[in-house]
Structure 1
Amino acid sequence: MEKIRTAIGLMSGTSMDGIDVALLRTDGADMVGRGPARGFAYDPAFRRRLQAALESAKAITRRDDRPGDLAALERELTLRHAEAVSAFLSENGLAAGDIDVVGFHGQTVLHRPDQRLTVQIGDGALLSRQTGIAVVYDMRANDMAHGGQGAPLIPVYHAALARNLAAVCAFPVVFVNIGGISNLTYVGPDGEIAAFDSGPGNTLIDQWVEVQAGIPFDQGGMIASEGRVLAALAARYLDHPFFAAPERRSLDRNDFSPPTGPDASLEDGARTLAHVTAAAILKSAGHLPQMPKTYIVCGGGRLNRVIMGDLEELAAAQGAQVMPAEAVDLNGDSMEAEAWAYLAVRSLDGLPLTFPGTTGVGTAITGGVLAVPD
């Protein structure tokens, strides 16, 4: 039996809206005890710096390159994560000594799987010094070094959760994470795992409403609910070669571009992109071993009622049901952060983080770099 550890997971996703923190007690295998979780929002100025960093990162050719402002930004991002950990511990009556390990994702600024290049800024050694806790970070690189796509990493955690859902869900079950990019984790009746990115999630909608209306996202789908689906614009995205390609690959935020002003009104653009998000999930699900019976939705996109409405309608046409994570007593906001805690524990024990059916790596492989306090 593996040792049970108390871990904190930290996630800053492609939406770049803040840091999710979650506590987990786990053996990195079947035992998963979910604890408190909280999100810490970035202020608008820092979010703009992160967005600008995506442009600077395009000049990166080696994983340790930090052109422009990236080195300073990496330090500030790390310190903000340290502050989030400190606040989280204080709020929950915990001390650094109560935590065995922190799983630190950092912020992805470049992901080019075809070039075996992925960059998540975040200084694990600095975070360990600041928090006084061991930190596992840089968990994607070893997968890429062994021929994988470097993403998605969360499926092994989804599979652990699914083992407790047999009484309430029809299998196959698919976990759908709608963040900036959407991804799917398939768990078959026999425990088979398959996973891949399914297409744009919130990122196109966020970019569209920010440029057109100066707001960071379409809260609850309010803007989209006033628009209509523009078939030609939707087809422009859904006819992308990504969806038909036999080989699944992980996506970078820049693989799909938002519409331009002449393409649509604010409302019609938001409505069309919400439809694209939902339709892309069902289109990509056609590459799974079997069509799902249940979709469990997590991530910020589950709060957009237009996306969820379209997803429910499209899935129902295939005999499947859609439910938010909360319907099966899971936390749709903190699941990725929980997963990073789970992965950190697996890394400490040398257990695989990625598998041929998730990232395309040649064989199941572990990963991560361990930093300990000085």
Structure 2
Amino acid sequence: MKRIIGLMSGTSLDGIDAALIETDGERIARFGPGETQSYSDSDRATLQDAVDRALAWGFDGDRPCFDAAERVLTLRHSLAVQRVLDAAGLAASDIDLVGFHGQTVLHKAPSGGHVGETLQIGDGPALAAATGIAVVHDFRSADMEKGGQGAPLATLYHDALARQSDIDRPLAVLNLGGVANVTWLSATADPVAFDTGPANGLIDAWCTREVGEAFDRDGQLAARGQVAPAALDQLLAHSFFALVPPKSLDRWDFTLDPVAGLSPEDGAATLTAFTARTVADALAALGQPLRLLVTGGGRHNPTLMRALGEACGVTPEPVESVGWRGDLLEAEAFAWLAARVEAGLPTSLPSTTGASAPVSGGRISRPD
């Protein structure tokens, strides 16, 4: 078994999740300490600038300079590693690997027979030098080179957790981050996974623009509003929903234009209903799960969780109901995936990303 610290910084740019697990890339022997560290306003502004530069670039022409953002990422992720070490009472020499997802600033899904492109900034060699620990990074590129979506990648970890927890199937695991993605686990077939649509990303952007808040705390804004049917129909008309899975999207593929002109409350209610409806449509194409387990920040939004239950016909449960750590699940996943990269085990399957064959994606950078 390896001691591995996993690190995750999501598209919401809210902070870093870090978690220690002991694993061989198949079984999880022990769950160690973990924590979430928020970015400062300055850090977030630097990272948002990197996103803006990436969106303007669009993989066309010379790559922009992301040095400032990568310095922030290296510093903050190295501090996150140290905090986990301190909490565990361990030294860097006690850790075998760090699984470093980096920060997604641009994602372009495969289309029209052309492979997609994705960019997670973050300097793996610099993080290895800063921590003194071997770092596994660049998890997504190899999958996309084989025609895959490069996402979602936590699917096989969900499968491993569900097997270890002996949960009956069919089971759906829903991640509500900036984007929503679902893992479908049946008793007889390989896992299936894909992005279902926006989750918190549009709601957060609406709240920032309309009320100066980073997110809809406890879903209170949406709870006071009414869904605007015409705006909801316009959101649902996006071409992404006509695509057949596996499929993925960038948080910035959708805009707030359909809800422009609505009150803050009605806009939040409409965007919340949009997330719930698109998840329900995705599940309807898969079947009726025995349970719907929800991870990611959206599970803390009671208005969204209530809307999910009404739309999906199954009560959504936070993953804590089966003993999983929802705030740390993706960080744990990249620790587990790091072990698989080192062992040469698959990190994605054709059924989870659409790659032409199972892929063990990721590069290892070791400290000098």
Distance 1:237 1:91, change over 3 A: same
**Aligned mates of 2:83, 2:63 — CA distance in 1:** 29
Instruction: State the match for 2:282 in structure 1.
Output: 284
Pairs aligned (count)? 364
Aligned to 2:207: 209
CA drift of 1:241 comes to 2.5
Corresponding residue to 1:358 among 349, 352, 362: 352
Aligned partner of 2:279: which letter? I
User: Pick from 193, 196, 220: which aligns with 2:218?
Assistant: 220
Contact 1:59–1:67 (CA under 8 A) maintained in structure 2: no
User: Is the 2:221–2:269 Cα contact (8 Å) retained in structure 1?
Assistant: yes
- What's the CA shift for 1:63? 10
Deviations 1:245-300 (A, max 9, x none): 22431100111112477431011111111111111111122333x33221100000
CA deviations over 1:101-141 (Å, ceiling 9, x no partner) = 00000000010122521100100000000000010000100
Say whether 1:144 aligns with 2:144: yes
Q: Given that residues 63 and 118 in structure 1 are in contact (C-alpha distance below 8 angstroms), is that contact kept between their aligned partners in structure 2?
A: no
Contact 1:32–1:160 under 8 Å retained in 2:
no
SS of the residue corresponding to residue 198 of structure 1 reads strand
Which residue of the other structure, out of 71, 74, 78, is the alignment partner of 2:70? 74
Counterpart in the other structure of 1:101: 97
User: Residues of 2 paired with 1:255 and 1:225: CA distance?
Assistant: 26
Match of 1:273 among 266, 271, 274: 271
The AA in structure 2 aligned to 1:224 is: A
Aligned residue for 1:174?
172
CA contact (8 A) 1:243 1:283 kept: no
2:20 is aligned to 23
- Greater CA drift, 24-33 or 127-136: 24-33
Aligned to 1:85: 81
Once the 2 structures are TM-superposed, how far is the Cα of residue 190 of structure 1 from its aligned partner? 2.6
**Are 1:135 and 2:131 an aligned pair?**
no
Other structure's SS at 1:206 match: helix
The Cα shift of 1:87 comes to 2.1
Residue 184 of structure 2 is matched in structure 1 by 186
- Residues 260 and 229 (structure 1), Cα distance of their counterparts in 2 relative to 1, 3 Å cut: closer
Deviation at 1:233, TM superposition (A): 1.3
Question: 1-side partners of 2:128 and 2:329: how far apart?
Answer: 23
Aligned to 2:262: 264
Q: TM-score, normalised by structure 2?
A: 0.94
Distance in structure 1 (CA, Å) of the matches to 2:68 and 2:46: 11
Checking the alignment, whether the CA contact within 8 Å between 2:136 and 2:363 is kept in structure 1 is yes
Greater mean deviation of Cα atoms: 333-342 or 241-250: 241-250
SS at match of 2:136: strand
Equivalent residue letter for 2:19: A
Paired residues of 2:174 and 2:295 also in contact (CA < 8 A): yes
Corresponding letter in the other structure for 2:147: G
Unaligned runs of 5+ in 2: none
Residue pair 1:63, 1:117 contacting (<8 A) in 2 also: no
Counterpart position of 2:306: 309
Structure 1 vs Structure 2 CA RMSD = 1.8
Q: Percent identity at matched positions? A: 46
- Letter paired with 2:109: P
